[in-house]
Structure 1
Amino acid sequence: MDVFSGFHGHVLAAVQQLKHDGIVPKDANVDGITLESPKDSSHGDLATNAAMVLAKPAKLPPRALAERIVPLLASDPFIEKVEIAGPGFINMTLKQSFWPSVCRMVLEQGDSFGRSAIGKGEAVNVEYVSANPTGPMHVGHCRGAVFGDALANLLAFAGYDVTREYYVNDAGAQVDVLARSAFLRYREALGEDIGEIPEGLYPGDYLKPVGEKLASNHGRDLLDMPEAEWLPPVRNLALTAMLGMIEDDLAQLDIRHDVFFSERSMTDGKDEVGDTIADLTSKGLVYEGRLPPPKGKVDEDWEDRIQLLFRASEFGDDQDRPLVKADGTYTYFAADIAYHYDKFRRGFRSMIDVWGADHSGHIKRMQSALKALTDGQADLDVKICQLVRLFRAGEPVKMSKRAGTFVTLRDVVDEVGAGPVRFMMLYRKNDAPLDFDFAKVTEQSRDNPVFYVQYAHARASSVQRNVTEAFPNLALEGEQLALADLDRLTDEGDLALIRRIAQFPRIVEAAAEAHEPHRIAFYLYDLAGDFHGLWNRGKDLPQLRFIHQTDRELTRARVALVVATQRVLALGLGILGVHALQELH
């Protein structure tokens, strides 16, 4: 049960009664009616805009219509008070006796609490990371990887059928550069002094094992071949090695994809890209023309020649976009169109791409092409992850020992752990820059959100261990604790914590619909704050302590609240992909 959904149904029932009574037209649209928590808790527990939405079709002032709705809502046995506020909002205060039922519900439902069916099993493709397979993951990839994985978790929790996908850019010039870089390391493995790595090749030591593998497999045979002959086998082995390294890097963050889709597969023995361009041409969206020179900046897509262009400007892009390069190969854009069209043919009508900040200019053209190809049947939401700046105690961190030019994902995880990395990458909206300070994320204080939330979960475990010592036979299973006399939870701190717990299903649905997993991280911090606050109040008010040596039933009720809080903390951390800790060291 979602508290908001339940009372939203009550609001709609009241509206239905007004329709029956002829006060509101029977065909009045109720889709815009919402039920939210008031920003100011003194205004009540729930607020609806029903009178505001229906005032115009009812031909009544909003407050006048609200006066008709109020008595219908007040008939609910769990509603203490209904008031009209401002121009016509309706605020509801729930009876104190209602809130223990929320705590009981969490204990009874366990890991099912907060799960939603809003996804209705819809197939959603979430494509994230998709870095060029030319080296280890760097910290910028880390943010996109964590965001995409948490979003996939969130959507699955909300009832969607999620496929996690990685698009392997294995058909561009960068993989030939990778092969030449690996060949240099192959010569090094055979004993040659290769000197400084030439500019334009990848300098990292991570390619040394690839060179050694090539030497082991081929001996000196490759040295006698022209590049055209050794390039394919070297490229294949290097790609396999790099993808293996990428998967290992991502596994350090508990990230695993369902599908690795090869760009090369679309032109290897077939021509899906050409077929896609043909489909766009048949819709009148491709033509031969010349692009005007860019104004004020260099555009890598611009060439002063007649070329094949997609009418991107018809869909809001600032200019039309080329599909074929001067050498006859396809542009990245053409391949990306074909790739997303392939997703559509695989049955995905809903697609989410997680891109880096440097790709934001490609969003409109990609969405427009997919819209054109699918006649509007497919939806593409592109989430941009902004840059991550690394610091150590306020000082910038720039170099990696392993990669030589950047800080790798593994560098960060090895130093602070997967949990802190994941949580902190999500404790800021994806499209805002993020400063990650190694010292801050290991600091044990309220200023460190991941510690603050984990500490709440560990503290709840500590309470349960102490209760077991005081009352060895007290059952701490959820269903048993649900039988406790929860009506004894009457302190305002108790009720505030339960109110926060009650918001979890609503937060999950809102975050899933907006594709914003950071909302879960923010919520967990607030929930942890309420729990820590209640704990601290118990220092001064003995009746609020969780363990009462002379009152087993009060202890049972208070521990029930602790366990319910811990359940929700664990569920939220699970969505973020963070392991909940039983104790901190």
Structure 2
Amino acid sequence: MNIFADVHTKICAAIASLQRDGHLPDTLDVAAVTAEPPKDPAYGDVTTNAALVIAPQDGRRAREIAQLLVPRLTDDQGVVSVDVAGPGFINLHLDPARWAPVLAAILEEGEAFGRSALGAGKKANVEFVSAYPTSPLTAAYTRGAVYGDALANLLGFVGYDVTREYYVNDGGAQVDVLARSVYLRYLEAHGRDVAFEDGTLPGDYLVPVGAALKAKVGDIYLDQSEAVWLAPVCAFAIDAMMARIREDLDALGIRMDLYFSEKSLDDAGRIEAALADLEAKGLIYEGVLDPPQGQSAERPERREQTLFRSTAHGDEADRPIRTADGGWTYFAPDIAYHFDKIDRGYDALYDVFGSDHGAYVRRVKAVVSALSNGRVPVEIKLVQLVRLADKGIPVRRAGGFVTLRDVVDRLGPDVTRFAMLSRKNDAALDLDLDAVLDQSRDNPVFAVQYAHVRALGIVERAERIAEPRPGDVAVLRGGAEWALVQKLAGWPRLVDIAARTAEPHRMAMYLTDLADLFHKAWPSGSNVPEVWLTEGADTPETWAKIDLARAVSIVISAGLGILGVNPARQMR
């Protein structure tokens, strides 16, 4: 049950009735009309911008349009009064009885409350993390990993059939560097002296990989040429590093549905197939790109290249797909990869990239548009870095880097996940490891879990004291609990907005606000049911409060589940 969607439907019906009666033009675009909670509860229960949206199309002032809408909205039996405020906002005050079904729906549907059919019958692919298998996952990947997994949970909650996917970059020069570095550790495991020159990976994390290679193959690669050992050592090293990456993701509660190999695209001829598709559409040509801004057009390196006409699909420049020596550019396998995704029948694609991939967004959108003939939307979500501190001191590891596992081992997966979702993905995040472990209500991570534990405790103790009875939520109007009722009613709307915008951080913010309202409404501690259910207080109002506590626990549990956080049953 989405009370704001219901009001929105009634607003649109009122607009349509005015159009039928000739008071408004027939050709109005009402897509931008909203029905949402007002910022200040004093203004009512629901506010709408309908008059402000219509006014520029109609030619009259917004307040004049609003006055036309007021009587049509007041006709609704569930609306007590309608006011016009400011430049033309319309504020509706609802009958308290309208809110009772919300609480009843939460208690009946449980954690399914707020689910929708937004993505019903549709397949979505969320590709995230996709780090090179040349090192353990660094702390920089933690935020993108959590964001991608929470987004997948959210899309599943609104009906999508979701695939979580990791693109394994197992082709190209980087993995050859990995193989050479592992070979050096292999020699070291045999007692040889080695030197890590520029272009190799000197990290100690490859020591056990080299030792494992020795245990597997013995001395067969000693004193052999690179042509003999490069390919098998490369395959061994990739498998070893990907096993570690899987373990790290598992520690964070993330389980991919598919690890997709970049190398498989080349092996299966998918690059050629994708380019043939684009060529058939007239989007591949031989040409010369204009020089980058600030460079002279006289430079000798300007030569004819094979180009993708990405400007035909909204990009700012056409993109080369072959290098000067005839090899594939970095973009060519990405074209094939998205071609493969489209071929697999996905209806929506989500690519989660680091913030340094901003220049890549337009070309990916262009190629997906071209390959799918505009049918498949792709969302490119950029994730900003996290600046880690501990008691205000920046976190650094001497001679190395902070890993994802370092963060999870310090905070635990639940705290890590909630903290990483505390801000929008494209906003910088400063995270103090000590602060997010603070057990006070000033810490949102703690406050939300504590609210869940307290709400459960209220219900369980109440039911031990007395036999549950029906409550009447309408009698709570005007009390501190009423803000909780209204906040819970906004959960389906919040879920819908978060799913449409691919912004799971909204869930964390909502849960933080809900927990704050809960603690403010019932600050008296663990003996709340005993106070309520004293002799003579076993009333519909009391049981409405207990039902409200149960509803709070249900919605917090559902929200934490979408974030991938286990709801606490007791605080430690």
What band does the TM-score fall into relative to the shorter chain?
A: over 0.9
State whether residues 47 and 90 of structure 1, in contact with CA within 8 Å, keep that contact through their aligned partners in structure 2: yes
Q: Give the Å deviation of 1:154.
A: 0.9
Q: Which amino acid aligns with 2:389?
A: F
- The Cα of 1:81 is off from its aligned counterpart by 0.9
Query: For residues 71 and 285 of structure 1, do their structure 2 counterparts lie closer, same or farther at Cα, with a shift above 3 Å needed?
Result: same
Matched, 1:258 2:292: no
Q: Distance in 1 between matches of 2:347 and 2:159?
A: 16
Larger displacement relative to structure 2 (123-132 or 47-56): 47-56
Deviations 1:166-218 (A, max 9, x none): 11111111111111111112122223233x53332222232223222221221
Q: What's the secondary structure of 1:572's corresponding residue? A: helix
Matched, 1:464 2:463: no
1:559 aligns with one of 531, 535, 546: 546
Maintained 8 Å contact 1:126/1:164: yes
TM-score (norm 2): 0.92
Q: CA deviation at 1:151?
A: 0.8
Are 1:141 and 2:128 matched, yes or no?
A: no
Alpha-carbon spacing, 1:173–1:543, altered in 2? closer, same or farther (3 Å): closer
Letter in 2 for 1:411: D
Render the CA deviation track for 1:488-514: whole Å, top value 9, x for unaligned: 434421111111111111011011111
Equivalent position amino acid for 1:94 in 2 = L
Q: Cα offset for 1:123?
A: 1.5
Percent identity between matched residues is 47
Deviation at 1:293, TM superposition (A): 4.9
Contact map agreement 1:78 1:98 (CA 8 A) in 2: yes
In the TM superposition, residue 416 of structure 1 has moved relative to its aligned partner by 0.8
Letter in 2 for 1:551: A
Q: Which moved more, 1:19-28 or 1:352-361?
A: 19-28
- Listed as ranges, the matches of 1:258-277 within 5 Å are 258-268=257-267, 270-277=268-275
Amino acid at match of 2:480: G
Taking structure 1 as reference, are residues 21 and 387 closer, same or farther at Cα in structure 2, changes over 3 Å only? same
Deviations 1:359-418 (A, max 9, x none): 111111121122223222222211100111111111111227xxx521110000001111
Tell me the alpha carbon deviations over residues 333-362 of structure 1, each in whole angstroms, 9 at most, x when there is no partner: 111111111111111232110000111111
Q: 1:360 to 1:55 in 2, by over 3 A?
A: closer
C-alpha deviations, 1:116-163, integer Å up to 9, x for none?
A: 112233211111111111121111111111011111111111222221
- The aligned counterpart of 1:120 is 120
Give 1:14's aligned amino acid: A
Partner of 1:478: none
Partner of 1:574: 561
Q: Write the letter of the residue equivalent to 2:508.
A: A
Q: Provide structure 1 residue ranges, at least 5 long, that are not aligned to the other structure.
A: 476-480
**SS where residue 201 of structure 1 aligns?**
coil
Structure 1 position 209 matched with structure 2 position 208? yes
Tell me what 1:131 maps to. 131
Q: Specify the code of the residue in structure 2 equivalent to 1:155.
A: L
The CA deviation at 1:292 is 5.0
| 2:543 counterpart letter in structure 1 | R
Spell out, residue by residue over 1:80-116, the C-alpha distance to the aligned partner (whole angstroms, 9 max, x if none): 1111223433210112333333222211111111111
Taking the TM superposition and a 5 Å limit, the aligned residue runs for 1:474-513 are: 474=467, 483-513=470-500
What is the CA deviation profile of residues 301-320 of structure 1, one whole-angstrom value per residue up to 9, with x for unaligned ones? x9654322223455554543
Task: Answer whether contact 1:254 1:577 (CA < 8 A) is retained.
Answer: yes
Flag the 1:313–1:5 CA change in 2: closer, same or farther, 3 A: closer
Q: CA deviation at 1:467?
A: 2.6
**For residue 396 of structure 2, what is the aligned residue in structure 1?**
398
**Aligned residue in 2 for 1:320:** 318
Report the TM-score when normalising by structure 1: 0.90
The runs of 5 or more residues in structure 2 that have no matched partner are: none
Amino acid at match of 1:158: V
Please tell me whether the aligned partners of residues 357 and 384 of structure 1 are also in contact (alpha carbons under 8 angstroms): yes
Query: Relative to structure 1, is the Cα distance of residues 317 and 19 closer, same or farther in structure 2, using a 3 angstrom cutoff?
Result: closer
Q: Alignment partner of 2:522: what SS? A: helix
Aligned residue identity for 2:249: L
Go from structure 1 to structure 2 and tell me whether the alpha carbon gap of 1:303 and 1:546 turns closer, same or farther (over 3 Å shift): farther
Structure 2 counterpart of 1:116, one-letter code: S
2:311/2:366 contact within 8 Å kept = no
Query: Match of 1:91, SS?
Result: strand
Give the deviation of 1:266 after TM superposition: 0.9
Shift in alpha-carbon separation, 1:110–1:191, aligned structure 2, 3 A: same
Provide the alpha-carbon RMSD of the alignment: 2.5
Distance 2:11 2:183 in 1: 70
What is the CA-CA distance between 1:451 and the residue it aligns to? 1.1
CA–CA distance in structure 1, aligned partners of residues 477 and 23 of structure 2: 40
Distance in 1 separating the partners of 2:302 and 2:54: 58
CA contact (8 A) 1:546 1:559 kept: no
Question: What is the one-letter code of the residue matched to 2:356?
Answer: D
